[in-house]
Amino acid sequence: MLSEKMEKALNEQVNWEMYSSYFYLSMSSYFESISLSGCANWMRAQAQEELFHAIKIYDFINERGGRGIMEAIAKPPSDWDSSLAVFEEVLAHEQKVTGLINSLVDLALDERDHATNIFLQWFVSEQVEEEATVGGVLDKFRLIAEDKSGLFVLDQELGTRVFTPPAK
């Protein structure tokens, strides 16, 4: 059974993951508006992944005898100065999520909630992958700088991303 404090913190993370999905969907729309459909696809896949994360935590709360409480989702930004600026914001966002997950792990350890700690380890590993993936894309954006042909090739590459939910 979850403590009230752990249940509240996990519900806050569900909200953050829902916001993240909204955030990436907004970025997808931005990329569509500037005719970078590959980047838009990448962000849409990211939005689906974040929704998967929210549901995964929501299900865990319910499995542990808690209750998922849906709060209002904050409005994400909708405009950026450049494609590079978008991916810089993505990396900063994922670093923030990593901090939030680490805080949940700390709380689980403080409360000696071993089941939640074990559950959260999947998210710890996921965040390592998220930051590495976004960092790699960001490096490519920096490398191509203002090269339009490089942007075209990178957009094509990002367009191949498909979200496949991991096995439970």
Two structure tokens written together for 17: 């993951």
**From CA 91, how far away is CA 141, in angstroms rounded?**
13
Average pLDDT over the chain reads 97
Residues 51, 57, 60, 62, CA torsion sign: negative
Q: Which pLDDT value is given to residue 167?
A: 80
Q: What is the model's pTM?
A: 0.95
Sequence spans of domains, the chain: 4-158
Region 1-17: what's the mean pLDDT? 97
pLDDT score of 146 more than 90: no
Where is average pLDDT lowest: 6-10, 13-17, 163-167? 163-167
Q: Would you state the pLDDT for residue 168?
A: 65
CATH, range 4-158 = 1.20.1260.10
Q: Which residues are annotated as a binding site for Fe cation?
A: 17, 50, 53, 94, 127
With contact defined as beta carbons under 8 Å apart, do 120 and 108 qualify? yes
- Kindly tell me if the per-residue pLDDT of 53 is higher than 80: yes
Binding residue positions? 17, 50, 53, 94, 127
Identify residue 151 by its one-letter amino acid code: L
